[in-house]
Amino acid sequence: MKVEKFPDRIIEIDHEQYLYFGGTAYLGLPTNAAFQDLVIKNILKWGTTYGSSRTANIQLTAYDAGEKFLASHIGSESTATVSSGMLAGKLVLEKLKKEKAVSYHLNETHSAIKTENSLPVFINEKLNDRLLDSEPEKITILTDGVPSFETKPVDLSFIKEISKEKEITLVIDESHSLGIVGENGSGIYSSVSFPVKRKIMVSSLGKAFGLTGGVIAGDSDFINEIKELETFTSAAGMNPAFVQTLSDAAEIYKIQHQKLKDNLSYIDSVLIKSKHIKFDKNYPLIYVLSNKLVEKLKQEKIIIASFKYTKDAEPLNRIVVTANHLKEDLDKLIDVLNKN
């Protein structure tokens, strides 16, 4: 389906209007007038793009403002912005590869942090024996903040069981948790208190935060090392107008996050729990486990997100609730869900 206008809460297909519960604009920012005004103001100040290296002799203060805001919001010592969440993940993997650590993946991670020769953390629902042995080695654990088909942050309690001889670096992709979970949408990075040598967060900013770009968060030493990589220094940075907007929009993020929480609380108060749906009141994705229900929603003029991550995968059917949905939208959605 192709559309000629940004799909917010309403989407027009073949001249007919449908309610739209798809996409990833969790905080409803792409069409938020106050947010758009900030972006436009910053484009007028910083231009439409800045194609120079971040290490060039001319430095833009926009990057300082945006990266300081992100560090404060996430709860990390430092951050680096880049042009996409995918690049953020690949830069971190490039840096860690030089350390020759053994990589482990906790779930079916997004391709941004997927690496060759990675070992599973769990085998037949038991912790990988190699994580329990007394062989001293550096290891990297790769995980999504909220795995696909899940509605709660990843459980990292297994880290306490890993051998003390292992030096652990934890990498979390928070593209679908930053801006959503945690206080004011801070994500889960700051809440991770398990015994790890280093924790690193990567995330797209094009989802909840409404701006094309990506972020890497971690300790100051690691972020400084990232900024010395040739891949970082030879690439143009994130659009400076967008980076400045991150800082300028701090209050808007809070307001929109509260609206999203209110919408989720309302759904939780009236939705009848069913085997056909998977929902948690703290997360804006409702997974639809019945293809018949997907078709029923469409018949009722409700379009949800439905796609395959890979060619051979099962369809991923999910209802995406945003800060922009009105009570009447939620009522129509819930009425259909409660009848199935």
Cα–Cα distance between 94 and 329 in angstroms, integer?
44
Going by C-alpha positions, the residue among 298, 223, 317, 245 that lies closest to residue 36 is 245
Cα–Cα distance between 25 and 114 in angstroms, integer?
24
Predicted pLDDT of residue 128: 96
Residues 197 and 299 in one domain: no
3-class SS letters over 155-214: CCHHHHHCCCCEEEEEEEECCCCCCCCCHHHCCCHHHCCCCCCEEEEEEECCCCCCCCCE
Amino acid 195 reads P
Q: What is the pTM of this model?
A: 0.94
CATH of the domain at 321: 3.90.1150.10
Do residues 79 and 88 lie in contact, with contact meaning Cβ atoms separated by under 8 Å? no
Residue 188, burial from CB neighbour count under 10 angstroms (0-12, 13-18, 19+): buried
Kindly state the average pLDDT of the residues 209-213: 97
Residues 122 and 244 in one domain: yes
Q: What is the band of 327 on the pLDDT scale with cuts at 50, 70, 90?
A: very high
Predicted pLDDT of residue 93: 96
Hey, what are 24's tokens?
């990833």
Strands 285-288 and 277-278: antiparallel
Q: Residue 319 pairs with which residues in a beta bridge?
A: 286
Residues 147 and 266 in one domain: no
Q: Is 99 left (phi over 0), alpha (psi -120 to 50) or beta?
A: alpha
Q: Is 132 helix (H, G, I), strand (E, B) or coil?
A: coil
> Is residue 1 situated within a structural domain?
no
Predicted pLDDT of residue 291: 86
> Is residue 186 situated within a structural domain?
yes
Do residues 235 and 49 lie in contact, with contact meaning Cβ atoms separated by under 8 Å? no
Total length of the chain: 340
Hey, what are 173's tokens?
């992709």
Residues 42 and 186 in one domain: yes
Do residues 26 and 207 lie in contact, with contact meaning Cβ atoms separated by under 8 Å? yes
255's enclosing H/E stretch is helix 250-270
Residues 191 and 328 in one domain: no
Cβ atoms < 10 Å from Cβ of 96: 21
Do residues 229 and 44 lie in contact, with contact meaning Cβ atoms separated by under 8 Å? no
> Is residue 5 situated within a structural domain?
no
Cα–Cα distance between 179 and 172 in angstroms, integer?
14
Cα–Cα distance between 122 and 195 in angstroms, integer?
18
38's enclosing H/E stretch is helix 33-46
Number of domains in the chain: 2
Residue 307 clears pLDDT 70, i.e. is over it: yes
CATH of the domain at 103: 3.40.640.10
Residues 316 and 328 in one domain: yes
> Is residue 195 situated within a structural domain?
yes
Going by C-alpha positions, the residue among 175, 240, 147, 149 that lies closest to residue 25 is 175
Going by C-alpha positions, the residue among 273, 271, 253 that lies closest to residue 261 is 253
- Measuring CA to CA, how many Å separate 50 from each of 41, 235, 249? 16, 11, 21
Residues 22 and 62 in one domain: no
Share of the chain above pLDDT 90, in %: 82
Last residue of a domain, one of 188, 218, 248: 248
> Is residue 3 situated within a structural domain?
no
Residues 260 and 239 in one domain: no
Hey, what are 200's tokens?
């690193």
Q: What is the band of 235 on the pLDDT scale with cuts at 50, 70, 90?
A: very high
Last residue of a domain, one of 248, 283, 299: 248
Residue 223 clears pLDDT 90, i.e. is over it: yes
Cβ atoms < 10 Å from Cβ of 185: 23
Residue 224 clears pLDDT 70, i.e. is over it: yes
Phi then psi for residue 21, to 5 deg, are: -125, 60
Residues 199 and 234 in one domain: yes
Last residue of a domain, one of 248, 281, 310: 248
Q: pLDDT digit string (tens) for 113-164?
A: 999 889 999 999 999 999 999 999 999 999 999 998 899 999 999 999 999 9
Amino acid 124 reads N
Q: pLDDT digit string (tens) for 41-92?
A: 999 999 999 988 888 888 899 999 999 999 999 999 999 999 999 999 999 9
Predicted pLDDT of residue 246: 97
Residues 93 and 122 in one domain: yes
Cα–Cα distance between 236 and 10 in angstroms, integer?
35
Predicted pLDDT of residue 1: 73
Q: What is the band of 13 on the pLDDT scale with cuts at 50, 70, 90?
A: confident
Share of the chain above pLDDT 70, in %: 98
Residues 227 and 309 in one domain: no
Predicted pLDDT of residue 311: 63
Give the range of the structural domain holding residue 44, as residue numbers without chain letter: 33-248
